[in-house]
Amino acid sequence: MSVQLDEHRQLIGDQHRVNALSRAIGTVVRPGDVVLDVASGTGILGLLACRAGASRVYCVEQTGIIELARQLARANGFADRMRFIMANSAAAHLPELVDVIVSDQIGHFGFDAGIMEMLADARVRCLKPQGRMVPAGITLFVGLAELPVLRAELDFWMTPVAGFDFSAGGNIAVNSGHPISLEPECLLGPGVEACYIDLSIAGELPFGFTTVLTASRDGVIDGIAGWFVADLGGGMTMTNGPGCVERIDRRNVVFPLDEPVAIRARDEVTVGMRIRPSDLIVHWDVSVRGERRCSHSTFAGMLLPREALARTHPQTVPHLTPRGEARKTVLTLCDGGRTLDGIERETYSRHRDLFRNYADAQVFVAEVVTRYSQE
């Protein structure tokens, strides 16, 4: 089964999610509105907008799922109102401004699927003055998590395997956000509203917060849990909050502590986070009873090979690889005068050593052309 198709099956099969978005779009979208669906996937939000009375819906999606979305638009009688644009949202150009932008690029912790950058760009380039967005904002929540299973996964790296030391992996693991579906009993106290992201003004700039969490029972802190409540407009919300009755089927995230910390009921824990949304970098500091216990960053958890870092040094003089030269050839030949067949033959002729046969050259050219060319 296609992994991508299965991911979308789970999204459209999540009744709490679909119901929340259906109610919101049915309220926010007015008859005659023009709507933009950013990162539209199967087009479910566009279909909901059409049902709410939208006169046109522009569905922008950069993956192959857009072809299924076209079929679904036809099957549901909305092909005349839904327009599909296969592109990254930042590269998509609409023929008109829209009344409403809809999207569900929210992620596990509210910002981590790119919604801030996507909507900041779409809002500036595509939305009418006084236009509306779904969601309108996102509130981030944090809580104290006791998770023996996560602790066991972190400790795994400290145990030799076949007599070899794998502890270097532990530093990456404790500096990573871990997607986990949290049950209420995993929390040592109530979650706290940490930060509100107003999507009508938010952009790609770093932001952060400091908040105090209070334990309501004795236990051990293994990490800081994060989740969201999305403001869908009209008083409607959508959340992956642990224990919420209409919780959508989307995991939370846990930012671990390098060592477990024993805590007593009524103890206070100060959590500070600094977030660079466009780079998915989160830095978290944790203090317990006024004593600093840990400081971590997902930057330290990134797998950054030295070869890649060396190539990004300002004094590096880059040279194209043979395949890079072949890609350059394809892009140069896309001059608006040559057919695809001619580009394939010329590329194969110039770079014959790269390809086992002509069919390989055709595949290579297709990969470049489908990504960078337009009709």
Q: pLDDT tens, 267-323? A: 999 999 999 998 999 999 999 988 878 899 999 999 888 888 888 888 888 899 999
- What percentage of residues in the chain have a pLDDT greater than 90? 88
SS3 45: helix
Q: How many CB atoms lie within 10 A of CB 216?
A: 14
SS3 331: helix
Please state which CATH class domain 138-306 belongs to: mainly beta
Domains 3-104 and 138-306 share a fold: no
Q: Over the chain, what is the mean pLDDT?
A: 94
Distance, C-alpha 357 to centroid of its chain: 38
Average pLDDT (99-119) is 95
Domain range summary for the chain, segments of one domain joined by +: 3-104, 138-306, 322-372
Please state which CATH class domain 3-104 belongs to: alpha beta
Prediction pTM value: 0.90
Q: pLDDT grade, residue 54 (50/70/90)?
A: very high
Average pLDDT (191-197) is 96
Residues 6+ positions from 286 with CB-CB distance below 8 Å: 221, 224, 257, 261, 269, 270, 271, 272, 292, 293, 294, 295
Residue 375 has pLDDT above 80, yes or no: no
* pLDDT at res. 259: 93
